[in-house]
Each structure stands twice: as C-alpha cells, then as structure tokens.
Structure 1
Amino acid sequence: MRKRRLGIVVKVNNTSLQVIPTTADPSQAGGKNVVELDQGTLSQLDFYGGGKRSFALCDMIATVSANRIYPPAQAGTKIRSTSYKLKISKAERSSLIIAMIQSSGYGTYVEDLKELADLRHSNAVLKSQIEELNVYKKLAEVLSGDIAGDLGIARDLLAEEVARG
C-alpha cells in the first residue's frame, strides 16, 4: 500500500511485523472478515477520534518492515511517541481472532473445538468402562477356573460311585 493507514499489529518479529490494515469505507462493514473498531479505542487517536468509523480487514494481513510503522498520533497532540500504550479491547481482540480464523478458511474452528472436547469426554468415559469390564473379565476367569476344577472333581467322584455301584 502506498498510503499511510491505521493498522493493528498482530505479531512482532525481529525486523518485521504482521499488521491488519483498516479502512474507513463503510461498504466493508458486515463481512465475516471485517471487524468494526470501537469508538472508545479510536477516540484515543488524534485523526480517528472525531467519530470516524474504522474497520479492520482481517483477510488482508500483511507483513511489513518495522521501519514502515509509525505510532499513531495521540489524541489532542501531534506527537508520535513510541512508548504509547494504546491497545484494542478484549472484545475487539476476540472479534479479530474469530475474523482471522474465518479468513483462513477454517470457519468451523469453534464448533470443532467443542466437538473435540465432547469426544475427549466420551473417550474418557469409554476408557473407564473398559477398565471396569476388564475387572469383570478377570473375575469371570477366576470363577470359571474354579468351576472347571470343581466340575472335574465332581466327574471323578461320580465316576467312582458308578464304578462301585
């Protein structure tokens, strides 16, 4: 992009940053990969604080050189301090994460996580049932071994009585 625009830094590497660009174009609103930034966040910025709407374009993440990044001017000043502490809200962060997941083509991520948790629970229940059945199996083996031995003794006794008989 040739022009300067507001962006949200997603990841910082040694010499580069991953940035989500923003736009003021309201026609972008409503898309799965677009998140409108809160006015409470934007009001802390000089240019964006006047009620101007901004939309993060989560399907356009770009990696840029750290030399191309300028901190935003703070509200009421034209100063660009590198020690600013402006962050997006937790709600915006959650919305951005969901929109980035949507833009990656994996829109069923949250549902898949729930299904995975359910499957893990079912697996744990089945494992405990298998352990219980193994106890019954061992008990049956012990009892059937005794029964077979007792049956052998009973046959021998019966055969002696018939022979005496």
Structure 2
Amino acid sequence: MFRRAPPDWERVKQEFMFCTDPLDVIAERNGIGRGALTRHANAANWQRQITTVQRPRRTKAERAEAAAESTRRALSKSLAARLYLAIDRKVQEIEMRMQQAEDEGRSAVDVERDARTLSAFARVYAKLVEFDGAKKPATEKRETESKPSPERSSEDADQLRRDLARRLERLDRGGDA
C-alpha cells in the first residue's frame, strides 16, 4: 500500500501564519485536509499574523438566481441562433421557388403567399436583431465594440428589407407576365 510522506509542518506553519491564501488552499498545497490543518494549528497554538481577505458569500437564493440567469442567457442565445438558421433556410427555399417560377410560371396565390412569408421573416429578423442588441450585458457590449453596433444591425435589417422588396418586385413581375 502506498503511504504518503508526512507534511512539512514547519512549512505549513509558515504558510499558516504569514500567507494570505485561505486555509483550504494552504491545506491543499501541502497535501493535507483543512480539518487536519486547523487541528494541528490549534494544538500547536499557531496564530495567523495576517488577515485573509474574505470574498463575499452569496446566499442560496442569489446562487440560484445566478444559475437561472446563466441558463436563460444560454437558452436565448441558442433560440436566437436557431431562429436565424430557420429564417435563412426558409428564405433560401422561397428563392429556389422564385427561380422555378420564372421557368414554369406560378399562380398569383403562390406568389402572394411567398411575399407574405418574406414580409413576416423580415419582421422576425428585425425583432431578433433588436433582441440581440438589448440582451447583451454591458460588459459584453464593451468587449464587442469592434463588432457591428445595434445601429449597424438595424442598417443590416433595413438592407434585408430592401433586398426582400426587390425580390418581391421580381416575383410580381414574374407572376403578372
């Protein structure tokens, strides 16, 4: 059976008395448990010469709220990404139908349905862009200053609307002919 070497208690004493690290860290660094460290320190009457900086402890409710917020952020990112992909796939599908419509000719009802669908996608896209801009925490906004700003994203949404309008005009011209 493997036996561990006993800890260097002189070193442990020096760290206990003069190191600002918490007792957990000191104990782990020396290969002992915190309980063994405190028992030995009490038995030898060691006194810490410095004060350890204690980090503020969060309550159980605060920890639960932080975990819930983290989950909400992850889910909203995931949902937004899936919506972007779904919109992209549907717009590509409609564009393919537009190409086929030029060759085969389509009814006005089909053209109108695609036009309404594209219009709805443009509105959803604009809301997603607004949502992404509003949901970023202040620190994340500062980190991503080089990325497009919400104003730039709004311009992108406007450009998408213009592109969709041009495509709809082509559909109308193709459907009327």
Higher share of residues assigned helix: 2
Higher share of residues assigned strand: 1
Fold agreement, TM-score > 0.5: no
TM norm structure 1: 0.31
TM norm structure 2: 0.30
Computing the radius of gyration over CA atoms, which structure comes out larger, 1 or 2? 1
